[in-house]
Amino acid sequence: MTAAEIREEILDILSDIAPDEDLSGLEDGVAFRDQLELDSMDFLDIVMELRKRHRIQIPEEDYGALASMASTVEYLTPRMKDMERA
Amino acid sequence: MQPASQESQRIVITGIGLAAPNGADPRAFRASLLEGKSGVQPYEIRYVGKTLAGVCEYDKLRYQSKKDVRRGTKAGSIGIYSANEAIRDAGLDWSAVDRSRVGVYLGITEHGNVETENEVYALQGYRFDTSFWSHHHNPRTVANNPAGEVALNLSIWGPHYTIGAACAAGNAGLIQGAQMLRLGDCDLALAGGVSESIHTFGIFASFKSQGALAAHDDPAKASRPFDLHRNGIVVAEGGCVFVLERLDDARRRGARVHGELVGYAMNTDATDFVLPNPERQAECVALALRRAGLRPDQIDIVSTHATGTLSGDAQECDALRRVFADCPRTFFNNTKSFIGHAMGAAGALELAGNLGAFDDGLCHATINVDTLDPECALPGLVIGSPRAVGPVRYLLNNSFGMLGTNSVVIIGRPDDR
């Protein structure tokens, strides 16, 4: 998956986790928490969805990398580059 | 701490919110009961397949975001809807209510089966690797979940918990709320019962194995307490939450009173896991009457618990005959014949369905009795269509459950009617 495809995948996961949010104006460089109503359980949902959809295991010490869209894509790109989008 | 005046020991219902299979507010529910409209429909659930259930149609998003619905449980959703509707019905300005003085007391038959079954089912797809088990499982399945979701939704800081009392739980929630008000533990109680049981295959499968799951070609005819050919229970979902207040508080704010809890009782059979004991049931009814200072013949309407099982219905009638032996002006009805058995919500819903009798003087019927079982032939049983019974002063509501738990509440007509 390319960085753009990974971004799309994260948006898809976010639309499931935060169905009331308008994600069209999401700013990639700004922390999710500063622009969306997300709490720690929601972040665990992102981790779980990545695990379920792509079998990616994200260790707890790396959770900080999921703070924003930009940091999430950067973190996942090397880990998902050989994967196909589901 | 403890309220002292006599009026502060009188507990009244000032708000009703509910989701029933045949109505999503008290007026619609009452209308369905008077019109003979069933809420039972064809239903399918994993492993069990095609069956029947009482299914609620209510606006889930009226008081919750999509995210909260997704995160929470169905029992929580029904509880939130019912609690908000009850507050609205009570005419409360919620922003002015001291939320630290509000308590939430919801009866449940069971909770957590639905969420656990769903997780195990999903985990099967991951070869039972528990790293795929949801972090939502625990907050969804803790026993206080439905009451806790109500407290979260309404920013209630007083106590919240559920009361596990099998199918007596709806009455038990109401009783608990009243007790806490009398103790001065809260100033406003949101009390009643909820059930999401139609979403667990286990309850259907277990009733089926027990030979107690109703079946009928016509869903509307499947729930038939007191009929000779009844063949079991129709499982239903639902919820009913009452706003309870002390009478003096209710009068002070000019609240409209729906009824007063004038007596209640709970006791235990201690004889069997599932089979009822009419002697203990009769004692429970008699105790509630004694506490209310009433004679049996002063009860106008008895809302029976009967679920449509062969032995349970007959046993309850046995109990009722013992207490109401010579009460020609006492009438009996059954709400499960319309909606099925709403489990933890049943007691509260069935009471709510009868409260309209204080205003319209009608005893809604027991439907689906085509051939009355002689063992269930109570003299005042209202069959088929509503009966005008004149001014109603007292309602008595039975609700019994497995492991021999019995509950009875008696509601008196408001003083101003």
What tens digit of pLDDT does each residue of B244-258 get? 999 999 999 999 999
Is A47 within a domain?
A: yes
**CATH number, position B47:** 3.40.47.10
A32 located within any domain: yes
Residue B233 lies in a domain: yes
B90 and B219, same domain (yes or no): yes
Provide the domain count of chain B. Answer: 2
Asked if ipTM goes beyond 0.90, one says yes
Overall domain count for chain A: 1
Query: Domain for residue B83, yes or no?
Result: yes
Residues 6+ apart with CB under 8 A from B128: none
Contacts 24+ apart (CB under 8 A), A80-83: A80/A1, A80/A6, A80/A54, A80/A56, A81/A1, A81/A2, A83/A1, A83/A54
CATH code of residue A56? 1.10.1200.10
Q: Whose CA is closest to B250, among B15, B17, B18?
A: B15
Q: How many residues does chain B have?
A: 417
CA distance B228 to chain A (A): 50
- One domain, residues B244 and B296: no
Specify whether B168 is located in the same domain as B271. no
| Substitution target from A15, A17, A20 for chain B, most B beta carbons within 10 A | A20
Residues B172 and B287 both lie in one domain: no
> Looking at residue B86, what is its pLDDT?
99
Residues B246 and B296 in one domain: no
CA of B243 vs chain A CAs: smallest distance (Å):
30
Residue B223 belongs to some domain of the structure = yes
Side by side, which strands form the sheet with B102-108? B160-164, B102-108, B188-195, B238-246, B11-19, B259-268, B405-412, B394-401, B301-303, B331-333
Identify whether the C-beta of residue B195 lies closer than 8 Å to the C-beta of residue B109. Answer: yes
Question: B286 and B204: one domain?
Answer: no
Kindly state whether residues B183 and B246 are assigned to the same domain. Answer: yes
Residue B5 confidence (pLDDT): 67
Q: Are residues B34 and B155 in the same domain?
A: yes
How far does Cα B293 stand from its chain's mean position? Answer: 24
pLDDT at res. B7: 79
**A41 vs B65, B132, B135: nearest CB:** B135
Cα(B389)–Cα(B354) distance, integer angstroms = 13
Identify whether the C-beta of residue B413 lies closer than 8 Å to the C-beta of residue B358: yes
Last residue of a domain, one of B228, B252, B276: B252
Q: What is the DSSP letter of B197?
A: G
| Per-residue model confidence (pLDDT) at position B1 | 44
Element (H or E) spanning B262, and its range?
strand B259-268
Mutation target among A14, A15, A45 for the B interface, most CBs of B within 10 A: A45
Identify the weakest region by mean pLDDT among A12-16, A34-38, B2-6, B369-373: B2-6
Asked if residue B185 is part of any domain, the answer here is yes
d(CA B291, CA B259) in angstroms, rounded, equals 17
How distant is the alpha carbon of residue B84 from its chain centre? 17
Q: For residue A2, give how far its alpha carbon lies from the nearest alpha carbon of chain B (Å).
A: 26
The distance of Cα A12 from the centroid of its chain, to the nearest Å, equals 9
- Does the residue A53 lie in any domain? yes
**pLDDT by 10s per residue, chain B, length 417:** 444 568 789 999 999 999 999 999 999 999 999 999 999 999 999 999 999 999 999 999 999 999 999 999 999 999 999 999 999 999 999 999 999 999 999 999 999 999 999 999 999 999 999 999 999 999 999 999 999 999 999 999 999 999 999 999 999 999 999 999 999 999 999 999 999 999 999 999 999 999 999 999 999 999 999 999 999 999 999 999 999 999 999 999 999 999 999 999 999 999 999 999 999 999 999 999 999 999 999 999 999 999 999 999 999 999 999 999 999 999 999 999 999 999 999 999 999 999 999 999 999 999 999 999 999 999 999 999 999 999 999 999 999 999 999 999 999 999 887
* pLDDT at residue B337, rounded to an integer: 98
Give the burial string for B30-53 (b: 16+ CB within 10 Å, else e): bebbbebbbbbbebebeebeebbb
**A interface test, pick of B61, B70, B119 with most A CB neighbours within 10 Å:** B70
The minimal CB distance from A19 to the residues B66, B126, B131 is found for: B66
Residue A14 is encoded by which pair of tokens?
């976010």
Same domain for B235 and B364: no
Is A65 part of any domain?
Answer: yes
- Count chain A–chain B contacts defined by CB atoms under 8 A: 25
A64: Cβ–Cβ under 8 A, 6 or more apart, which residues? none
Question: For residue A37, what are the domain limits?
Answer: 3-19+27-80
Residue B417 lies in a domain: no
Q: Which of residues 115-154 of B touch A (CB under 8 A)?
A: 126, 131-132, 134-136
Partner A contacted by B50 (CB < 8 A): no
**How far is residue B123 from each of residues A21, B216, B393, measured CA to CA in Å?**
29, 35, 54
Residue B240's domain comprises 7-252
Question: B243 and B284, same structural domain?
Answer: no
Quick one: B37 and B88 in the same domain? yes
Structure tokens at A7: 């971004």
- Considering the domain architecture, whether residues B236 and B294 belong to the same structural domain is answered as no
Assess if residue A50 is contained within a domain.
Answer: yes
C-beta neighbour count of A82 within 10 angstroms: 7
Task: Single out the residue of B202, B209, B195 nearest to residue B166, CA to CA.
Answer: B195
Q: Which 3 state secondary structure label does DSSP give B223?
A: coil
Q: Which residue of B has its CA nearest to A44?
A: B135
Which positions in chain A touch B135 (Cβ < 8 Å)?
41, 44-45, 48
Please give the residue of chain B at the shortest CA–CA distance from A48. B132
State the pLDDT at residue A85: 72
- Asked if the structure places residue A85 within a domain, the reply is no
Distance from CA of A47 to the nearest CA of B (A): 10
Contact A51 B135 (CB under 8 A): no
All residues of chain A having their beta carbon less than 8 Å from the beta carbon of residue B126 are 52
